[in-house]
Amino acid sequence: MTADAFIFWFLSLVAVTSGLSVVMMANPIYSALSLAMTMVSLAALFATLGAYFIAGVQVIVYAGAVMVLFVIVLMLFDLREETKAFTRGQVSGALKIAMIGFLAGLIVMVMAQGVKFLAAPDVVDAAKLPEDSSKALGLVLFNRHIFGFEALGVLLLVVAVGTVALARSKGGTHAKH
C-alpha cells in the first residue's frame, strides 16, 4: 500500500465513522463533536487533493466558527437528556432507510456513468493544476468571479443584520407583548 493510498483510506475511514456517529449519537453534543471530526478529516482530504487554501478555510470556518456556533447554541439550550434520538414511526423509518439505500446506490451509479465523460478520469493532470493553487485561486476569484464574490459580501451583510434582528425578537416572528 502506497503512502497516498494509506492516507486516503485512513482519512475516509475517520470521515465515515465520525459521520455515522453524527447521525447515530443520542446526545447532540457528541454529534457536534463528531461533525467537527468529520470536517477536519475532510479538510485533510482537501489538502491531499491540492486544495490547500480550501482546506485551511474548511478548518477555520467550518470546524472553527460554525461548529463553535452549534456548540454555543447547544450550551444555551441546556439539553441535559435526549431520551430518543429518532422520530417515531417504524414504518416510515424503514421506508426512509430503504429510500436512502436506494438513493445511495443510484448516486453511485450515476457518478460512475458521469465519470466516463471525463477524458482520463483516473489520471491526475498535474500540469494543468498549478502548484501554488492558492495564488491561482485568488487570481480566478478576483478576476472572473468578482461579481459573485461581491454578491456574497452583500449576502453576508444581510445575514448579519437578519440574525441580529431575529435574536432581538422575543420568540418567533409574532412576538407577544
Partner 1 sequence: MPSTDVINQIGLSHYLVLSAALFTMGFLGVLMRRNVLVMMMCIELMLNAVNLTFIAFSKFSGRIDGQIMVFFVMTIAAAEAAVGLAIIVSIFKRYREVNIRFFEHLKG
Partner 2 sequence: MNHSLLMAILLLSPFVGFLINGARYRKNGPNLAGWLATTAIAISFICSILLVADLIGMPAESRRIAVSFFDWIVIDKLKVAAGFVVDPISAIMILVITGVGTLIHMFSIGYMHHDKGVAKYFAYLNLFVFNMLILVLGDSLLTMFVGWEGVGLCSYLLIGFWFTDKDKAAAGMKAFITNRIGDAAFLLGMFILFMTYGTLNFFDLNQLAPTVPEASWLGAATLGTLMLFIGATGKSAQIPLYVWLPDAMAGPTPVSALIHAATMVTAGVYMIVRLNAMFIAAPNTLMIIAVIGAATAVMAASIGMTQWDIKKVLAYSTVSQLGYMFLAAGVGAFGVAMFHLMTHAFFKALMFLGSGSVIHAMHEEQDIRKMGALKKYMPITHITFFFGWLAIIGMPPFAGFFSKDEILWKAMTSPLGHPLLWAAGVLGAVMTAFYMTRLMALTFWGKSRVPKEVHPHESPALMTIPLIVLGLLSIVGGWLGINHAISSILPGHPANVLEHWLGPVLREPSLDGVHHSVTMEWALMGVSVGLAALSAFVAYHFYVRSPETPKKIAESLGPVYRLISKKYLVDELYFGVIINPLIAFSKNLWHHVDVQVIDKTTYLLADLMKGGGSVVRTLQTGNMQQYAMYIGLGLVAVLSFVLMR
- Report d(CA 59, CA 61) in Å as an integer: 6
Binding of partner 1 by 14 (CB under 8 A): no
**Which residues, other chains included, contact 176 with Cβ-Cβ below 8 Å and sequence gap of 6+?**
170
* DSSP H or E stretch at residue 7: helix 3-24
DSSP at 61: I
Q: Map residues 102-141 to x or -, x wherever contact with partner 2 holds by CB under 8 A.
A: xx--xx-xx--x----------------------------
**Which residues, other chains included, contact 177 with Cβ-Cβ below 8 Å and sequence gap of 6+?**
none
DSSP at 123: S
What residues between 136 and 155 interact with partner 1 by CB under 8 A? 136-137, 140-141, 145, 148, 152, 155
Provide the 10 A C-beta neighbour count for residue 7: 14
The residue from 81, 131, 147, 171 that contacts partner 1 (CB under 8 A) is 171
What residues between 75 and 94 interact with partner 2 by CB under 8 A? 87, 92
Binding of partner 2 by 100 (CB under 8 A): yes
The residue from 68, 95, 139, 155 that contacts partner 2 (CB under 8 A) is 95
What residues between 33 and 92 interact with partner 1 by CB under 8 A? 35, 38-39, 42, 45-46, 49-51, 53-54, 57-58, 61-62, 65-66, 69-70, 73-74, 76-77, 79, 82, 84-88
- Smallest distance from the beta carbon of 96 to partner 2, in angstroms? 6
Binding of partner 1 by 98 (CB under 8 A): no
- Report d(CA 89, CA 87) in Å as an integer: 7
Cβ–Cβ under 8 Å, residues 46 and 58: yes
User: What sign for the dihedral angle of Cα 73, 77, 81, 84?
Assistant: negative
Which residues lie near partner 2 (CB under 8 A)?
A: 87, 92, 95-96, 99-100, 102-103, 106-107, 109-110, 113
